[in-house]
Amino acid sequence: MAGMELLSDQGFRMDGRKPNELRRIRFKKGVFRQADGSAYLEQGNTKVLAAVYGPHEIRGSRGKALHDKLLINCQYSMATFSTQDRKRRPRGDRKAQEMTSHLKQTFDAVVLTELYPKVQLDIFVEVLQSDGGNYCASVNAATLALMDAGIPMKDYVIACSGSHMRDTPIVDMNHLEESSGGAEVIMAILPRCDQIVFLEMNSRLHEDHLSGVMDHVMVGCKDIFNILNQQVQDELCQKTELDKIVTTG
């Protein structure tokens, strides 16, 4: 019978959001003691854990080392319980490999790699629950984890997805919207320098709509940035207050 109505006549999406609204974002940095940096992030029902190790000596064959910059090693995986139909193989399938290489590409562009020649940095991302926008949540979580680890970066790197539905651009798609078959634009940007570091599109989207969708995704990234940055700053202030008390006390 009648399929889903992804955007109603009243201008609401299936989950009650308006086209330009993000899902709820919550996060916590430093959730893992063993790692050098870590972060847990929720974007709606997509929940991701990121951990950063390093920089440290090259592991395994030394031949991989880059003589003039840092080697970033990424690994993306999905928990067996992350999707509705339980996954058989959490790692190493084609999709995970692709995602791994996308993440590497993204962080190569933003970490100041030339500061650490001949050593290695590991970024592990595990999707605990998947409800659309896995790449975006992974990037955002990994950014926070890198900050937590104190790795120097050009800027935050923030990712967001978007599409075009009934002549309206929408941002931050959930799983239901992603699986509707429409085109999806995924973008990672450096929000303070307006620089795009990653752009992917699946399925065809007419060039007339592309710039509109990209503009909205850009705004979506900046909104995410503001949310993350606000909390990071607040926590920083609290910490310095605390430090003051400790040192003066």
Q: Which residues bind other proteins (CB under 8 A)?
A: 1-2, 5, 8-10, 12, 14-17, 21, 23-24, 44-45, 84-85, 131, 166-167, 174, 176, 180-182, 203-206, 208-209
Distance CA 38, CA 96 (A): 20
Distance CA 29, CA 231 (A): 10
Distance CA 128, CA 134 (A): 10
CB of 247 to other proteins, least distance (A): 40
Residue whose CB is less far from other proteins, 176 or 219: 176
CB of 14 to other proteins, least distance (A): 8
CB of 217 to other proteins, least distance (A): 17
CB of 163 to other proteins, least distance (A): 10
Residue whose CB is less far from other proteins, 66 or 176: 176
CB of 175 to other proteins, least distance (A): 9
- What element of type H or E holds 237? helix 207-248
Residue whose CB is less far from other proteins, 68 or 167: 167
Residue whose CB is less far from other proteins, 36 or 131: 131
**Six token digits for residue 84:** 């509705």
What is the DSSP pairing of strand 120-129 with strand 71-78? parallel
- Left (φ > 0), alpha (ψ -120 to 50) or beta: where does 221 sit? alpha
- Of 50, 71, 48, give the one whose Cα is nearest residue 149: 50
CB of 44 to other proteins, least distance (A): 5
Contact 145, 232 (CB under 8 A): no
Contact 187, 162 (CB under 8 A): yes
Specify the DSSP class assigned to residue 191.
Answer: T
Q: Using N-to-C axis directions, what is the helix angle for 94-108 and 134-149, rounded to 10°?
A: 50
Specify the DSSP class assigned to residue 87.
Answer: P
Residue whose CB is less far from other proteins, 16 or 249: 16
Residue whose CB is less far from other proteins, 101 or 179: 179
